[in-house]
């Protein structure tokens, strides 16, 4: 398939559609302190931004480098920028067309994540109306600069160049850094795996007119599910396109979450609750039983192989085959948790056929419109021997969760609020048992059924293994939007 000629890949920030290549990534959260100077500094910053077109070239160069088995990594760095609603307000940029008319003041981008965390996301609360977050995320944040690259050295060099442009820490500064966080892909064989050990980044939406390689899997999504101002960007109303100002087209909303993972505690839980027999009645060793428990919580084995295809035994060959590793729909499993629990993380966050096949109640909008483009990276060190032995976290680690979509209310917010946190989801008309919460990200009293394949009704309670400690909603504008409006002289 060829790329849709109306899709201007030099106008779209690279992380959105192609993902900035990264071994390490720095997020700089900033406030704008001098509006006039910021606009002029931004004009000098824009040439540093990697577009989708440039990222595709970088990815091709990386592939060639790998194919030729050349040593080391190519020195590639990519920069993107995004703004919060408070950032646009500070700049005096009218961002009213970023708000879904069907939602008005309740649009999560407008209300900001600090408020949303308490009202919709279910984050633990510190005091009335305030989430239990790290202090910097309780402050106002105007924007975020993402720097991804092959090494700390090259990312830090770029960071210095950027700080120079904005005069950071000098009397001429136009921004103040609120906080910065460094994320790193895990080392060695764990590369690509999140901190619990599961391969991540397998299932992202395939975008119509952009992706040229289409592997079997969930339905292709319209461009407007990810990009604003493109076909399918209809928000909550879903009958007419949201009227976006020109500068607000070809951008995407970025949901950032600072998620801490309790890895030793997670491993202890798996060890303490091994599944005794697989779905065929085969007796499992404690280790096999713990592995199966983890796989049933996630919906995939650590290798990435989906349990819907290979429910009781890992299959690393299948996991590594892009033509097969996403080709499942929970078909034939309506009302059954034998192969995959209803509440398994990947079934909760992408229920595939669960909502389409009778007797499921018809969903308000199709599942494809709720897909999100995930671009996270790990942070924090590997688990130490002391932590593993004690089963207790002593060093902060987790996921810098980042996901792009054209509607936060259809995408991230809905997945967290209405699916992960909802013990009755997925809803079957003749539901045999309550699914329970998403065992990874569900907020509330965590418990789920279906973990034991031979006793689907059995409910297992569990502590919080993932703790949200910050976040914000941003909008990642097009290059033309940045130049014509955001960096324009007032």
Within residues 355-374, the interface with ligand HEM by CB under 6 A covers 372
Q: In whole angstroms, give the CA distance from residue 247 to residue 258.
A: 29
How near is the Cβ of 116 to ligand HEM at its closest, in Å? 12
Residues 383-422 that bind ligand HEM (CB under 6 A): 398-399, 401, 412, 415-416, 420
For position 133 contacting ligand HEM by CB under 6 A, the verdict is no
> 449 to 488, contacts with ligand HEM by CB under 6 A?
466
Q: Please work out, in degrees rounded to the nearest 5, the angle formed at the alpha carbon of residue 215 by the alpha carbons of 210 and 220.
A: 50
Strands (E), 5-69: 24-32
**444 scored as a contact of ligand HEM (CB under 6 A):** no
Binding segment for ligand HEM (CB under 6 A), chosen from 37-45, 126-134, 345-353, 478-486, is 345-353
- The whole-angstrom separation of Cα 22 and Cα 80 is 13
* Shortest Å, Cβ 30 to ligand HEM: 24
Q: Could you say whether residue 354 binds ligand HEM (CB under 6 A)?
A: no
* Whether residue 60 has a cis bond before it, omega within 30° of 0: no
Q: Which stretch binds ligand HEM (CB under 6 A): 44-52, 156-164, 342-350, 442-450?
A: 342-350
Query: Would you count residue 198 as binding ligand HEM (CB under 6 A)?
Result: yes
Do residues 150 and 23 make contact, with C-beta atoms less than 8 angstroms apart?
Answer: yes
**How far is Cα 467 from Cα 190, in angstroms, rounded to an integer?**
22
Annotated catalytic residue, options 200, 278, 354, 452: 200
**Counting contacts by CB under 6 A, is residue 294 touching ligand HEM?**
no
In whole angstroms, the minimum distance from the beta carbon of 305 to ligand HEM comes to 11
Return the closest-CA partner of residue 297 out of 278, 327, 269.
269
Spatial distance between the Cα atoms of 272 and 286, rounded to a whole number of angstroms: 9
Task: Provide the token pair at 255.
Answer: 């949901």
> Which of 257, 296, 375, 397 contacts ligand HEM by CB under 6 A?
257
CB of 430 to ligand HEM, least distance (A): 25
Told to judge if 200 belongs to the known catalytic residues of this protein, a careful annotator would answer yes
Total site size for ligand HEM, rule CB under 6 A: 27
CA distances from 309 to 6, 23, 319 (A): 38, 30, 10
What are the phi and psi torsion angles at 292 (to 5°)? -65, -40
194, 201 contact by CB (below 8 A) = no
Site string for ligand HEM, 155-194 (x = CB under 6 A): ---------------------------------------x
What CA–CA distance (Å, rounded) separates 479 from 11?
5
- Show the tokens assigned to 237: 């109303």
Whether the CB-CB separation of 338 and 456 falls below 8 Å is answered with yes
Measured CA to CA, the distance from residue 413 to residue 406 in angstroms comes to 12
Q: How far is the CB of 5 from ligand HEM (least distance, A)?
A: 29
Choose between 192 and 241: whose C-beta lies nearer to ligand HEM. Answer: 192
Q: Is there a cis peptide before residue 426, judged by omega within 30 degrees of 0?
A: yes
Provide the minimum distance between the beta carbon of 276 and ligand HEM in the complex, in angstroms, as a whole number: 25
**Would you count residue 346 as binding ligand HEM (CB under 6 A)?**
yes
Q: With respect to ligand HEM, which residue has the nearer C-beta, 241 or 366?
A: 366
- Interface pattern 215-254 for ligand HEM (x via CB under 6 A): ----------------------------------------
**Using the rule CB under 6 A, which residue among 136, 201, 231, 241 binds ligand HEM?**
201
Positive/negative CA dihedral, 164, 170, 171, 174: positive
Q: Give the distance, in angstroms, between the CA of residue 395 and the centroid of all CA atoms in the same chain.
A: 23
Q: Is 51 helix (H, G, I), strand (E, B) or coil?
A: strand
Options 202, 344, 467, 486; binder of ligand HEM; rule CB under 6 A: 202
Of 95-103, 161-169, 201-209, 470-478, the window that binds ligand HEM (rule: CB under 6 A) is 201-209
Using CB under 6 A as the binding rule, whether residue 196 contacts ligand HEM is answered as yes
Closest CA to 109 of 253, 12, 232: 253
CB of 300 to ligand HEM, least distance (A): 5
3 state DSSP class of 221: strand
* Choice between 224 and 481, CB closer to ligand HEM: 224
Distance CA 198, CA 278 (A): 20
Footprint on this chain of ligand HEM (rule: CB under 6 A): 194, 196, 198, 200-203, 257, 259, 261, 298, 300, 345-346, 349-350, 372, 398-399, 401, 412, 415-416, 420, 440-441, 466
Write out the catalytic residue numbers. 200
């Amino acid at each position: 398939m060829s790329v849709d000629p109306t899709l201007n890949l030099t106008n779209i920030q690279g992380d959105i559609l192609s993902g900035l290549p990264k071994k390490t990534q720095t997020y700089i959260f900033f406030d704008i302190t001098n509006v006039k100077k910021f606009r002029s500094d931004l004009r000098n910053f824009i040439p540093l931004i990697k577009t989708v077109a440039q990222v595709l070239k970088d990815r091709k160069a990386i592939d060639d480098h790998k194919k030729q088995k050349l040593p080391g990594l190519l020195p590639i760095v990519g920069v993107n920028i995004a703004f919060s609603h408070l950032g646009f307000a500070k700049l005096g940029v009218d961002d009213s067309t970023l708000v879904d008319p069907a939602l008005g003041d309740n649009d999560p981008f407008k209300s900001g994540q600090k408020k949303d965390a308490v009202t919709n996301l279910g984050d633990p609360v510190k005091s009335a109306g305030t989430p239990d977050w790290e202090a910097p995320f309780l402050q106002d944040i105007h924007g975020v600069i993402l720097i991804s690259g092959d090494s700390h050295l090259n990312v830090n060099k770029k960071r210095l160049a950027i700080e120079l442009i904005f005069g950071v820490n000098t009397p001429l500064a136009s921004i103040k850094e609120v906080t910065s966080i460094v994320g790193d892909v895990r080392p060695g064989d764990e590369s690509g795996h999140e901190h619990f050990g599961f391969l991540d980044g397998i299932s992202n939406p395939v975008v119509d007119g952009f992706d040229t390689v289409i592997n079997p899997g969930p339905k292709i999504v319209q461009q407007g599910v990810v990009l604003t101002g493109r076909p399918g960007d209809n928000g909550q109303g879903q009958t007419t396109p949201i009227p976006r100002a020109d500068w607000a087209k070809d951008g995407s909303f970025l949901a950032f979450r600072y998620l801490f993972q309790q890895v030793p505690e997670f491993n202890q839980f798996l060890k303490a609750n091994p599944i005794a027999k697989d779905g065929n009645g085969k007796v499992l060793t404690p280790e096999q039983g713990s592995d199966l428990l983890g796989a049933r919580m996630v919906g995939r084995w650590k290798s990435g192989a989906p349990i819907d295809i290979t429910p009781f035994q890992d299959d690393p060959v299948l996991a590594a085959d892009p033509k097969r590793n996403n080709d499942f729909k929970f078909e034939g499993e309506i009302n059954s948790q034998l192969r995959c629990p209803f509440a398994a993380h990947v079934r909760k966050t992408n229920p595939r056929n669960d909502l389409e096949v009778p007797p499921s109640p018809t969903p308000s909008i199709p599942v494809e419109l709720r897909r999100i483009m995930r671009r996270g990276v790990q942070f924090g060190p590997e688990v130490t021997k002391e932590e593993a032995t004690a089963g207790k976290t002593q060093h902060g680690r987790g996921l810098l969760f980042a996901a792009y979509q054209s509607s936060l209310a259809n995408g991230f917010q809905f997945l967290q609020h209405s699916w992960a946190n909802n013990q009755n989801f997925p809803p079957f008309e003749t539901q045999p048992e309550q699914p329970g919460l998403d065992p990874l990200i569900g907020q509330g009293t965590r418990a789920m059924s279906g973990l034991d394949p031979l006793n689907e009704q059995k409910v297992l309670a569990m502590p919080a293994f993932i703790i949200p400690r910050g976040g914000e909603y941003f909008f990642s504008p097009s290059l033309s939007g940045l130049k014509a409006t955001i960096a324009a002289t007032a």
